Amino acid sequence: MSAPRPRIETVAYDTLTVRLFEAIDEAHMPWILAADAALRERFDEALIDLVPSYTTLMLHYDALRLGQAEARAMIVEALADLAPASDREGRHHVIPVWYDESVGPELVTIAERLGVEPADVIRRHCERDYCAFALGFAPGYAFMGLVEEALATPRLSTPRQRVPAGSVGIAERQTAIYPMRSPGGWNILGRTAVTLFDRSRDEASLFRPGDRVRFEAIDRDTFVEQGGDPTPMEAS
């Protein structure tokens, strides 16, 4: 893939969006990560926030130090000789998941739709590495993908009022884990005991944009041993 031509867009008086791509593709992430590193280095103390997401990076700079023209020039300069980050750049996580109808009701509905056993859905969800394209919705919530086309499932028409922490879900070709109990409309397949956002941890969030994640099926006993809460979905 040749180097993308960045487009710099005004989004607020102190914020620019750098648009690198037009479509979602895991092959874009090394470029996004490289741009992330280059912009962090170039802006340094004048950087307030930098938010990579799928095809863009939103750059919030300190407007008391920099004008917008200056900030644009710095972006152009920082991205002049962009080369994709290596595959090893992002960290790799293995997330143990207890896949079960009691904590993941849509495991069965997806299996039925495909005319396969739930075990087959589990195997296919665990089969590939997913890329964390962006974090949002809640602290530590990573939008990951892409799941196999056949598993793609639209969001629930009526979102649940309460999705328990650790719930693993699918929406379209994306997969995610709810870091804390919250409302949500994703199709839930199972639950993990892994804490995704831990205030006592150095960076709090387990995932960062660009990380790679693979799911691994475990049984109920292992899940409980790992500290998981097996309370069924409807009672949560």
Partner 1 sequence: MGADESINQGEPMAAQEKGATLIVRDAGALALVQDGGRFGVRHLGVTQGGAVDWVSLGWANWLLGNAVDAAGIEITLGGFVVEVQTSTTLALAGGELGATLDGEPVPPHTRFRVDAGQTLAFGQATSGLRAYLALPGGVAATPFMGSTSSVIRECLGGLDGEGRALAVDDVIVAAGREPAGEARVIETPPRFTEETVDLEMVPGAQIAQFDGASVFATFNERWEVDARADRMGVRLIGQALRNGAGGMISEGIPLGAVQVPPDGQPIVLLNDRQTVGGYPRLGALTPLACARLGQCPPGTQLRLVPVSPHRTRRQMQAQFARWR
Category of 109 on φ-ψ map: left (φ > 0), alpha (ψ -120 to 50) or beta: alpha
Binding mask 106-125 for partner 1 (x = CB under 8 A): --------------------
Identify which of residues 121 and 176 has a Cβ nearer to partner 1 in the complex.
176
Q: Classify 222 as helix, strand or coil.
A: helix
Window 61-90: contact mask with partner 1 (x via CB under 8 A): -xxx--xx----------------------
Q: Quick one: which of 3, 82, 137, 198 contacts partner 1 (CB under 8 A)?
A: 137
- Given 4, 30, 52, 118, the residue binding partner 1 (CB under 8 A): 52
Residue 23 CB, shortest distance to partner 1, in Å, is: 8
The two structure tokens encoding residue 204: 């709090």
Burial of 75 from C-beta contacts in 10 A (0-12 / 13-18 / 19+): buried
Judged by DSSP in three states, 200 sits in coil
Q: Tell me the window of 16-24, 112-120, 151-159, 222-230 that interacts with partner 1 (CB under 8 A).
A: 16-24
Are the beta carbons of 202 and 208 closer than 8 angstroms?
Answer: no
Task: Return contacts of 118-124, CB within 8 angstroms, 24+ apart.
Answer: 121/151, 121/189, 122/189, 122/190, 122/217, 123/217, 124/148, 124/150, 124/151
Q: Is 15 near partner 1 (CB under 8 A)?
A: yes
Smallest gap from Cβ 173 to partner 1, in A, equals 12
Site residues (CB under 8 A) for partner 1? 9-15, 17, 23-24, 47-58, 60, 62-64, 67-68, 134-143, 180, 182, 199, 203-205, 208-209
